[in-house]
Amino acid sequence: MADEGWCTIESDPGLFTGLLSDVGVKDVQVEEVFSLDSESMNELGEVFGVIFLFKWKVQDGDGDQIVNGTLMEPSSVPIYFANQVINNACATQAILSIVLNSPELDIGTELSEFKEFTKDFDPAMKGLAISNLKTVRTAHNSNSPNQHFVLEGMKKTGKDEDIYHFVSYIPHEGSIYELDGTKAGPIKRGEAGDNWIEACIPVIQSRMNEYSVNEVRFNVMAVVRNRENMFLKEIAKLEEEKKTKGETEAAECAARIAELQADLEAERVKRKIWKKENARRKHNYVPFVMELLKLLASKGELNKIIESAKAEKKKRMETSAKPES
């Protein structure tokens, strides 16, 4: 695996939206999906692809084990499909799999040139090319949480640690395809119909049903059109329509505009939160912590805090050791 130089990053829609912007993709964002129902999915607006996160099972790595789908030969479908050769970047690759297969998106000069240059590569070579794409690697690694202290014995061994994996779902020529970089090719999961995002719901639910009823560690996100811009366009359109309507219809337009303005404000608040969270992820807090410890020590407070913490820990351990009456 060519994973040297790629760090593990958090699965978060705000982080992924920032990553897409950093690599040059315009007018797009990532939204978390909380409910797999038609109303919730259709409220997302224009959806370019869906990302599904699930707990990896050993049999997931077996290319012959395809349930409710058909493994396609990569050369038989005109889809940009790359094998995953980066252990720590399956989320980033899942996102790239969507944007590189969305011709209606402006993916920027560098990704456009990269796609054109590698389009005739086989999946393994495409995956290797992605692993060496400096712009994407830099954007990915910029979201690495600062880990300046490693406590001995705290890190789990690979044997005990749960492994999670990301796959993508996209519509293509009337069908829904699953793009999983650990497979030999795209997996045709079914017909897209008139509304591919609604058709995708049972596909994802079917994947979830492959696990036990006690398994709830799933996450679904969608790559969608920039919602702030979407609301602004809808408001501008309704403002123009309102001018040509009668009193009743104009009032209806005004009511809808008010709803959209509330949605727009909520979206702007969410983006401010995302910006703060992304900044905090990247910020180095060590100098602040060190200065705080020095200040506490200079005032004679540090030892008191340490002794108090030790006493509290001892008390908790004694309480937990007492047999239940």
- CA distances, 258 to each of 103, 227, 251 (Å): 33, 16, 11
Segment 145-152 long-range contacts (CB within 8 Å, at least 24 positions apart): 145/9, 145/10, 145/281, 146/282, 146/283, 146/284, 146/285, 146/286, 148/284, 148/286
Catalytic residue, chosen from 90, 140, 200, 253, is 90
Given strand 175-179, what is the order of strands in its sheet? Answer: 28-33, 219-225, 47-55, 164-172, 175-179, 187-191, 70-71
* Cα angle value 239/245/249 (rounded, 5°): 90
Catalytic residue, chosen from 7, 140, 148, 165, is 165
Q: Is 7 a catalytic residue?
A: no
- The pair of structure tokens assigned to 50 is 């869906």
- The pair of structure tokens assigned to 281 is 């992820």
Label residue 5 left, alpha or beta by phi (over 0 means left) and psi (-120 to 50 means alpha): left
3-state secondary structure of 33: strand
Alpha carbon distance 279, 211 (integer Å)? 36
Helices 90-99, 134-141: axis angle to 10 degrees equals 130
Q: Is 148 a catalytic residue?
A: no
Residues in the chain: 325
Catalytic positions are 90, 165
